[in-house]
Structure 1
Amino acid sequence: MPERAPPRIDPQPLPYVAQLGERAPAEVDLVVIHCTELPDLEMARRYGERVLYDSGSGNSGHYYIDRDGSIVQYVPVERVAHHVSGYNPRSIGIELVNSGRYPHWLDSRHQEMSEAYPDAQIAALIDLLQHLCHTLPGLRHIAGHESLDTRLEPASDDPERQVARKRDPGPLFPWPRVLAAVALEPLAP
């Protein structure tokens, strides 16, 4: 089988990458698909740069894919990014730029996620996933953030109501198309 060309990936390491835990790429067996729930890549970068932990690091995925299909890498595969509670050491986080529920993430009146994922973005995701399958021999599983973090939070508009803390990548994510194109099995949490 001929070597496949890797997708074009623009490395843009976060300032705190050296504070993130190290791991062997062979330990990675899971990819978690997210959406940024922010309007654009610039704002996602600002959120990713925020320091939230005593270690000097924050929350971020490894890869971000913009609506036009361009891919940036904020965290190297050899580092553990903070993107999904309980699964970080074994997983790669891929964030798709999508407004999601922005800016009313926990407002019970604004839980619909209505922005579709553009074809260029999904094609780039599939290309990246195929590349990761080729370069990470232990990679076997894929999951959406919403299936791994099912916690509820009090709604911001009515604390008596509960809403899903995470809903990404959401109901418009084309799971059948992605699963048909990659050799990954959905993870049963």
Structure 2
Amino acid sequence: MRKICRVIAWTVLWVLPTLANAQTFRIFEKPIIFDEEREKLSLEYLEKRHGILQETATIQPKMVVVHWTAINTLETTFDVFNPVHLAGRPELTAASRLNVSAHFLVDRDGTIFRLLPDTAFGRHTIGLNYMAIGIENIGGPDAPLTKAQVKANAELIRYLHRKHKLQYVIGHHEYYAFQGTPLWKETDPNYITQKQDPGDKFMKRLRKKLSDLSFKSTP
């Protein structure tokens, strides 16, 4: 089975300017553990929770889901996502032992870290993981997300759109709209969690910066 090796040293991906995006930004590589066990659990999740049987734990991205961490430091958040097995959240462990994760983590100053490859499977949004890239932002109700994070999310989503031709950009609190549609793939109709992140205010500001791309927020 394919094994993605963990990189010990941080590396930096420079995204060069294009005619469509005159600014540059950096993505710092800070990978979480993605070993054979995480791949195995990811494949099990795809099959049992999404009804999708495949040989590798990969996705074909069509959507970005924006989150906040409700944890106020980068390193503490990384330590939560890094383990392969989920602990301490019985409402989620009943569905799978696979730990929650996201593809990108944006610090409060707008610094972007990649935790998983864009096309790796990550558990972050019920019913939509099979096609969604997750972006987590450091902050929450007691630490409102910043202007720098709005800017960084917009730049990151533009970069991802150039690579994957995304169709949807939603906040985590907006994912309920996809229930009952062909895009929703969750085998248990009672498996749902209530979310408020990152909130309407943040998504309104983000969508204003991305308005020229006409992303959809509902099915």
Q: TM-score if structure 2 supplies the norm length?
A: 0.64
Match of 2:143 in 1: 115
5+ residue gaps, structure 1, are 101-112, 151-163
Q: State whether residues 67 and 197 of structure 2, in contact with CA within 8 Å, keep that contact through their aligned partners in structure 1.
A: yes
Q: Which has the higher contact order (CA 8 A, sep 6+)?
A: 1
Match of 1:29 in 2: 62
Residue 188 in 1 paired to residue 181 in 2? no
Count of residue correspondences: 159
Select which of 99, 102, 110 maps to 1:69. 110
SS at match of 2:32: coil
Relative distance call for 1:10 and 1:30 in structure 2 (3 A) is same
Shift of 1:176: 2.7
SS at match of 1:121: helix
Identity of aligned residues (%): 26
Match of 1:169 in 2: 198
Match of 1:89 in 2: 130
Match of 1:147 in 2: 174
Q: State whether residues 110 and 151 of structure 2, in contact with CA within 8 Å, keep that contact through their aligned partners in structure 1.
A: yes
Q: Which runs of 4+ in 1 moved over 6 A?
A: 53-56
SS at match of 1:146: helix
5+ residue gaps, structure 2, are 1-17, 43-55, 87-92, 178-192
**Rounded Cα–Cα distance in structure 2 between residues aligned with 1:3 and 1:188:** 26
Relative distance call for 1:6 and 1:135 in structure 2 (3 A) is farther
Relative distance call for 1:147 and 1:78 in structure 2 (3 A) is same
SS at match of 2:204: helix
2:198 aligned partner, one-letter code: P
Structure (1 or 2) with the greater helix fraction: 2
1:79 aligned partner, one-letter code: A
RMSD: 2.6
| Deviation string, structure 1 residues 51-74 (Cα, Å, up to 9, x no partner) | 127997411110000001100011
Shift of 1:87: 0.3
